Amino acid sequence: MSPLKTKIYLLFTIITLTTYFYSCKKEPGSDTLNSEIRQKLRDWYNTNVSESKQNPFNTLTPNWDKVQIKEVKGQIVYEVSMNNPEKVFIGYADTNQNKAEEIYSRTDIRFLIFEDKQTSLLVNGCYMSINNSGTQNNVKSLGYKETSDFTGNIIYFNPTGKMANGWTYRNGAVLQRISVSNETEYKSMMRIRSDENRLNQKNDGKLAYRPAAYCTPEYRIIYGTSCAGVDGYMNCQQYVVGREYINNCEYGGGGGADGEYTPPNPTGGGTGSGSTTVLEITTDSVKKKFPCTDKLILQPIVNSASMSTFVQPFLNGNRPTITYKTSNTLAWGTTSAGGVYMLGETGPDLQSGLGYSSTVTFNEKMLQNSSPLLIAATTIHETIHAYINHNIAESIQSPNDYGNWMTSLVGYYLINQLPSNYSHHSVMLDSYFDQAVLILYDWTKTQSRPYTIRDAAMAMMYGLKTVEPGTPQTYINYITASYEDIKAKYGITTKELEQYHKEHLTSILKMPQTGCN
């Protein structure tokens, strides 16, 4: 073989080998997938992504021939282009036919799959909706954590189609953090904004307090497009796929998480199963004196999957510790003379410094006389008090980092000098009640006596109208209205509720006091 032919042959061999290696390894920045990786991604997607009609993106399908690959913080991120035959996009309540076409042209929805670089396990995935409202013409040139001079929103949705979090950008920089809300919270926040405006007008245009991470309640509509006819004579109309309530919170940046997807629990290995959050709790005091309460109520509730889901947003870098205790000095009336029945109380743990942790104290007379259902409801009620304490402390200490709707509530309560019991119960009624009912209802499934979701709702309503003396009547009216709305929702009458609470307060069904060690 001549020297020239030898050089050409060697060059061809080097090019061939280089092409082979780069098409077979998980190289960040490469757009080529070998068959093994492609199948691995397909399997994860098919296992974890919901095809239910509850998923607003269930009509989208992945295009495995168009995948961008990059490395971000020790993870390989696969950005999979999606076929979108029904032109699903995120718009607003006033989006009409003309606006729909323009918004869709500025939208790109992809699916991201995250791989741990060290273990090669696929650990998470999400939909990424890029919604351009600026001058950036080609949204397809943008990517995960690569926003150039982008102005608009990037919103992430879990594989089930439920919204996770999002970010608002201006000229490539994060301007606001988007968090998940709900209709009840939205209405509550709109009421707060109305009161703030009223106070603002009385105060010469200056609010007495404005949190650093000020949040604006909003909602977005997810649209799809339905067409009928033949080529050249198509009639297309938008239809509503879903609605998402959100909070847009001012954001000062920092922490290194700007623009990132916030997953629920890592799914790990493509199984689709989530891990249960381990709560940091101390129950030794209760266990010593009331072992059955600890074993049959406290432990099952605080370690349940439903409680884990509830507390997940609270468990960031400053995890709270909740210490459960008992007391025989809390008020306990009598069935004949009436009086105050104090089932429990919750306050900041004096040893926790900044107030992140709390101590929950149960009335020993309740543990001896009340029904297991009411004791379980009290456990959930007081635990929610503890996490609201943590959330308020977090929002005061780190408003820019935490930046959610609770920060605005703190400002609202400070402006109006509202006491803590009112503010906590208002939040429970407006934002957490249904979650609390589900936690209690899940616990009832471990009992021999059958309970309904309505039973759980009535038990959870005990004490939620309680406010401190001196609370302004306007705000008492607010909490009463929320309470009445819940009664109407679950079909509960006042007489029925009063009788139910009376029967469970001093009940013939009591917790066993022995045999649980």
Strand bridging mode 344-348 / 75-83: unpaired
Confidence bin at 66 (pLDDT 50/70/90): very high
State the Cα–Cα distance between residues 332 and 318, nearest whole angstrom: 35
CB 212 within 8 A of CB 459: no
Query: How many domains are contained in the chain?
Result: 2
Task: Give the least confident one: 107-116, 242-251, 439-448.
Answer: 242-251
In a domain, 241, yes or no: no
**Claim to verify: residue 204 and residue 318 sit in the same structural domain:** no
What would the pLDDT profile of 263-300 be if each residue is shown by its tens digit? 764 333 332 333 333 446 788 889 999 999 999 999 89
The H-or-E segment that residue 394 falls in is helix 372-397
**Claim to verify: residue 338 and residue 196 sit in the same structural domain:** no
In a domain, 459, yes or no: yes
In a domain, 435, yes or no: yes
**Claim to verify: residue 182 and residue 291 sit in the same structural domain:** no
Q: Would you say residue 204 has pLDDT above 80?
A: no
What would the pLDDT profile of 89-126 be if each residue is shown by its tens digit? 998 877 777 788 888 888 999 999 999 888 888 888 99
Report the chain's C-alpha Rg in angstroms: 27
Q: Would you say residue 13 has pLDDT above 60?
A: no
Q: Would you say residue 167 has pLDDT above 50?
A: yes
State the Cα–Cα distance between residues 127 and 89, nearest whole angstrom: 12
**Claim to verify: residue 190 and residue 293 sit in the same structural domain:** no
Q: Which of 165, 185, 208 is the last residue of a domain?
A: 208
State the Cα–Cα distance between residues 326 and 247, nearest whole angstrom: 38
Is residue 66 exposed (0-12), middle (13-18) or buried (19+ Cβ within 10 Å)?
middle
Q: CA angle, 136 as apex, 148 and 134 as ends, to 5°?
A: 105
* Cβ-based neighbours of 90, under 8 Å, separated by 6 or more: 103, 107, 129, 131, 153, 155, 220, 221, 222, 223, 244
- Dihedrals φ, ψ of 256, to 5°? 80, 0
> Considering only CA atoms, which of 446, 459, 325, 482 is closest in space to residue 380?
459
**Claim to verify: residue 323 and residue 406 sit in the same structural domain:** yes
What would the pLDDT profile of 322-368 be if each residue is shown by its tens digit? 889 999 998 888 766 567 888 988 877 766 555 567 888 999 999 99
Range of the domain at 473: 281-506
What would the pLDDT profile of 247-267 be if each residue is shown by its tens digit? 887 765 544 557 889 876 433
In a domain, 275, yes or no: no
> What's the one-letter identity of residue 99?
K
In a domain, 490, yes or no: yes
Helix (H, G, I), strand (E, B) or coil at 488: helix
**Claim to verify: residue 294 and residue 416 sit in the same structural domain:** yes
Higher pLDDT, 288 or 475: 288
Q: Which of 147, 175, 208 is the last residue of a domain?
A: 208
**Claim to verify: residue 203 and residue 286 sit in the same structural domain:** no
Average pLDDT over residues 57-70: 93
Q: Which of 182, 208, 234 is the last residue of a domain?
A: 208
In a domain, 262, yes or no: no
Q: CA angle, 449 as apex, 283 and 455 as ends, to 5°?
A: 80
Name residue, tokens 């998402």. Answer: 244
Higher pLDDT, 416 or 294: 294
The winner for highest mean pLDDT among 122-136, 228-242, 256-270, 465-479 is 122-136
- Dihedrals φ, ψ of 511, to 5°? -70, 140
The H-or-E segment that residue 307 falls in is helix 305-311
Strand bridging mode 215-228 / 358-363: unpaired
For the record, the structure tokens of 43 come out as 């399997």
**Claim to verify: residue 55 and residue 159 sit in the same structural domain:** yes
In a domain, 348, yes or no: yes
CB 204 within 8 A of CB 386: no
Higher pLDDT, 331 or 190: 331
**Claim to verify: residue 190 and residue 56 sit in the same structural domain:** yes
**Claim to verify: residue 354 and residue 485 sit in the same structural domain:** yes
Q: Would you say residue 141 has pLDDT above 90?
A: no
Task: Tell me the percentage of the chain whose pLDDT exceeds 90.
Answer: 24
* Model pLDDT, residue 469: 75
Task: Give the least confident one: 34-38, 285-289, 455-459, 462-466.
Answer: 462-466
**Claim to verify: residue 480 and residue 351 sit in the same structural domain:** yes
